Chain A
Amino acid sequence: MLLNAVIIILREVLEAALIISVFLALSQLLNRNLWWMLLALLVGFSGATVYALNLSQISMAMEGTGQEVLNAVLHSVIFISLLIFMISVPHQAHAKWRQLNLVTIVLAVITAIIREGSEIILYITGFFGIPDLLSPVLMGSAVGAGIGLSVGVFFYYLLVNMRTSYGIWLGYLILLLIGGSMVAQAVEFMIQADYIAASAPVWDSSAIISERSAAGQLLYALVGYEATPAPEQAAAYFSSIGLLIVAAGISFMFRGKTS
Chain B
Amino acid sequence: MKSIRLFLLLSLLATITLVNFVALLHGYQSSMEKAQSLFDSRLESTARLIASANSEQTMRQGIAEQQTPFTYFQIWDSGGKQLLTRSRNAPEFVTGALTEGFHEVNFDSYRWRNYVYRDQHLNRWIVVAERIDVRYSLAEEVVLESLLPIVIAIPIAALIIWLAVGIGLKPLRQFADQVLGKRADDLSPIQLEKVPHELVTVVSNTNALLGRLDHAFQREQRFASDAAHELRTPISVLKVHLHNLKQRLGDDDEDITLLKTGIERMGHLVEQILALYRTSPDQASARFESVDLYKLAQTVIASDFLQFERKQQHISLDGETAILSGNRFALETLLQNLLSNANKYTPPGGEIHVIVKPFQDGVQLIVEDSGPGIPADQHERVFERFYRFQGDRHDSGELGCGLGLTIVSHIVELHHATIRLGTSSLGKGLAVTIHFPGEK
Partner-B contacts on A (CB < 8 A): 1-3, 6, 28, 132, 135-136, 139, 142-143, 146-147, 149-151, 153-154, 157, 160-161
CA distance A2 to B145 in the complex (A): 13
| B10-24 residues at the A interface, CB under 8 angstroms | 10-11, 13-15, 17-18, 21-22, 24
Q: How far is the CA of A2 from the CA of B139 in the complex (A)?
A: 12
Of B48-56, B147-155, B276-284, the segment with at least 4 beta carbons within 8 Å of chain A is B147-155
Residue ID in chain B nearest A154 by CB atoms: B14
In whole angstroms, what is the CA distance A149 to B1 when docked? 18
Take A1-B140, A28-B2, A157-B11 as given contacts and tell me if A150 and B18 are in contact as well, using a CB distance cutoff of 8 Å.
Answer: yes
* Distance, CA A151 to CA B148, complexed state (A): 22
Q: Choose from A142, A151, A153, A157 the contact partner of B151 (Cβ within 8 Å).
A: A142
- Asked whether, in the complex, the Cβ of A153 is within 8 Å of the Cβ of B11, the reply is yes
Q: Is B160 part of the binding interface, using a Cβ–Cβ cutoff of 8 Å?
A: no
Question: In the complex, what's the smallest C-beta–C-beta distance from B2 to chain A, in angstroms?
Answer: 7
Min CB distance B284 to A, Å, is: 40
Q: Measured between alpha carbons, how far is A161 from B18 in the docked complex, in Å?
A: 20
Cβ-defined contact, B7 with A135, below 8 A: no
20 extra interface residue pairs, beta carbon distance < 8 Å, beyond A1-B140, A146-B18, A149-B14: A2-B28, A3-B25, A3-B29, A132-B137, A136-B140, A136-B144, A139-B151, A142-B151, A143-B151, A146-B151, A147-B21, A150-B13, A150-B15, A151-B14, A151-B18, A153-B10, A153-B13, A153-B14, A154-B18, A157-B1
Measured CA separation A161–B7 after assembly (Å): 11
Which residue on A lies nearest to B136, using beta carbons?
A: A1
CA distance A139 to B149 in the complex (A): 11
Query: What 4 A-B pairs have minimum CB-CB distances, sorted nearest first?
Result: A150-B14, A153-B14, A150-B18, A146-B17
Given A139-B151, A147-B21; A3-B28 close (CB under 8 Å): yes
Q: Are A143 and B24 in contact (CB under 8 A)?
A: yes
Q: Can you sample 5 A-B contacts with CB below 8 Å?
A: A136-B140, A139-B151, A143-B21, A154-B14, A160-B1
- Expressed in whole angstroms, the Cα–Cα distance for A157 and B29 within the complex equals 31
Whole-angstrom CA separation of A132 from B15 in the bound complex: 31
Q: Which residues of B contact A132 (CB under 8 A)?
A: 137
Chain A interface SS verdict (over half): helix
Q: Which residues of B contact A142 (CB under 8 A)?
A: 151
CB within 8 Å of A: which B125-165 residues: 137, 140-141, 144, 147-148, 151, 154
For A136, list chain B residues within 8 Å (CB). 140, 144
Q: Which residues of B contact A28 (CB under 8 A)?
A: 2
- Docked-complex contact B154 and A146, CB < 8 angstroms: yes
Best-surrounded residue of B17, B28, B29 (most CB of chain A within 10 A):
B17
CB <8 Å contact, B147 and A139: yes
B residues touching A (Cβ–Cβ < 8 Å)?
1-2, 7, 10-11, 13-15, 17-18, 21-22, 24-25, 28-29, 137, 140-141, 144, 147-148, 151, 154
What is the CB-to-nearest-CB distance from A79 to chain B, in angstroms, rounded to a whole number?
28
Q: A2-B140, A149-B14 are in contact. Are A143 and B1 (CB under 8 A)?
A: no
Of all chain A residues, the one with the shortest Cβ separation from B10 is A153
Contacting residues, chain B, for A149 (C-beta < 8 A): 14, 17
B contact residues around A143 at 8 Å (CB): 21, 24-25, 151
Contact A150 to B17, CB < 8 A, known contacts A2-B144, A136-B144, A143-B151: yes
Find chain B residues with CB under 8 A from A153 CB: 10-11, 13-14
A1 to B137 CA separation, bound complex (whole angstroms)? 9
Given the complex of chains A and B, what is the CA–CA distance between A150 and B11 in angstroms?
8
Asked if A6 and B25 sit within 8 Å, CB to CB, the answer is: yes
Please name all residues of chain A whose beta carbon is closer than 8 Å to the beta carbon of B11 when the two chains form the complex. 153-154, 157
A150: nearest residue on chain B (CB-CB)? Answer: B14
A147-B17 CB under 8 A given contacts A2-B140, A2-B144: yes
Knowing A1-B140, A2-B140, A142-B151, the reply to whether A147 touches B18 (Cβ < 8 A) is: yes
A132 to B137, CA, bound (A): 8
Within the complex, what minimum Cβ distance (angstroms) separates A159 from chain B? 11
Complex CA distance for A139 and B18, rounded to whole angstroms: 15
Q: Which residues from chain B contact A154 at a C-beta distance below 8 Å?
A: 11, 14, 18
Report the bound CA distance from A135 to B141 in whole Å: 9
Residue in A closest to B28 when the chains form the complex, CB atoms: A2
Q: Which residues of A contact B151 (CB under 8 A)?
A: 139, 142-143, 146
Nearest Cβ on chain B to A6's Cβ, whole angstroms: 7
**Once bound together, how far apart are the Cα atoms of A157 and B11, in whole Å?**
8
Whole-angstrom CA separation of A6 from B27 in the bound complex: 14
Q: Which residues of A contact B15 (CB under 8 A)?
A: 150
Which residue of chain B is the closest to A156 with respect to CB atoms? B10
A44 and B163 alpha carbons, distance in the complex (Å): 31
Docked-complex contact A139 and B144, CB < 8 angstroms: yes
* Shortest CB distance B424–A (Å): 42
Closest residue on chain B to residue A144 by CB atoms: B21
Closest to A143 in B: B21
Interchain nearest-CB distance for A251 vs B (Å) = 29
Question: Complex: how many Å from CA A146 to CA B28?
Answer: 16
Are B1 and A161 in touch, CB under 8 angstroms? yes
Q: How far is the CA of A147 from the CA of B7 in the complex (A)?
A: 17
Q: Which residues of B contact A151 (CB under 8 A)?
A: 14, 18
Give Cα A2 to B31, complex, Å.
Answer: 13
Q: Residues of B contacting A135 with CB < 8 Å?
A: 141, 144
- In the bound complex, how far is the Cα of B15 from the Cα of A142, in angstroms? 15
| Residue ID in chain B nearest A147 by CB atoms | B21
A193-B28 Cα distance, complex, nearest whole Å: 38
CA distance A30 to B144 in the complex (A): 45
Q: Which residues of A contact B10 (CB under 8 A)?
A: 153, 157
Q: Which residues of A have CB within 8 Å of B154?
A: 146
Q: How far apart are the CA atoms of A161 and B141 in the complex, in Å?
A: 43
Chain A residues with CB below 8 A from B147, complex form: 139
Q: Which residues of chain A are within 8 angstroms of B2 by Cβ–Cβ distance?
A: 28
In the assembled complex, the Cα of A45 lies from the Cα of B148 at a distance in Å of: 27
Task: Give A135 to B15 CA distance when docked, in angstroms.
Answer: 25
- Chain B residues closer than 8 Å to A160, beta-carbon distance: 1
Q: Are A139 and B14 in contact, with the CB atoms below 8 A? A: no
In the complex, chain A residues whose CB is within 8 Å of the CB of B13? 150, 153
CA distance A3 to B141 in the complex (A): 14
CA distance A3 to B139 in the complex (A): 14
A3 to B2, CA, bound (A): 36
